Amino acid sequence: MNSIAIYPGSFDPPTNGHLDLILRSNQLFKKVVVAVLRNTSKKCLLSVDERYNLLKECTKNFPNVEVDAFEGLLVDYARVREAKHIIRGIRALTDFEYEFQIALLNKRLAPDIETIFLMPKEEYVYLSSKLVKEVALLGGSFDDLVPKPVANFLKEKIKNNLRFSDLEG
Ligand code: PNS
């Protein structure tokens, strides 16, 4: 498709599932803007700058992928970026209700912007940022769940006394 797509999310942290979706969207669109949400009510483990930098590092070999951060309404941001498509991953039925709500609300706010759902590769169906954080903070191995720069970053963070309570909120 000869247009721009926004791939929005919290990316706390970026996982192999996110990267898979970025790479596959990159083959469908002229440009993919990976957009980290700034004003989330979720308590995040990584700062926006940390997530932005990790996504930049993980996508540095893809010239048609741009990383950015946004605040406010997603559809307003999409308009500013002249994007006609929003990419979201849908892993299982559990994602469906939430995604359905967001997509329908966005459609109401901006009928000219289409949400495109991509299914993850089978091997990433179970993968979520939340579970990666849990495994990492409880001392499990997460090397094959996240891109290498993210794994290294998380290990460093854990070494520097990151505690499980940092996740609660
Ligand atoms: O990775 P996430 O946390 O599931 O991503 C959620 C995201 C960023 C897509 C959603 O929270 C969002 O678009 N927020 C921006 C505010 C907005 O536009 N809200 C109305 C539609 S939900």
Domain interval for residue 33: 4-126
Mutate to test the pocket of ligand 1, among 102, 109, 127, 132 (most ligand atoms within 8 A of CB): 102
> Per-residue pLDDT averaged across 35-43, rounded?
86
Range among 28-37, 41-50, 91-100 rated most confident: 28-37
> Per-residue pLDDT averaged across 53-64, rounded?
97
**CATH code: domain of residue 45:** 3.40.50.620
Count of all residues that appear for the chain in the document:
169
The reply to whether 135 falls in a domain is: no
The reply to whether 153 falls in a domain is: no
Both tokens of 121, joined, read 């590769």
Q: Tally the domains of the chain.
A: 1
Both tokens of 155, joined, read 């290990």
Both tokens of 29, joined, read 């669109």
What is the model's pLDDT at position 159? 83
The reply to whether 93 falls in a domain is: yes
Q: For residue 130, is pLDDT > 50? A: yes
Is residue 157 within 8 A of residue 164, CB to CB? The reply is no
Both tokens of 59, joined, read 């996508």
The catalytically annotated residue of 81, 91, 130, 157 is: 91
Both tokens of 16, joined, read 């192999």
Long-range contacts of 154-158 (CB under 8 A, 24+ apart): 154/13, 157/45, 157/46
- Cβ of 105 below 6 Å from ligand 1: yes
**C-alpha 9 to ligand 1 mean position (Å):** 6
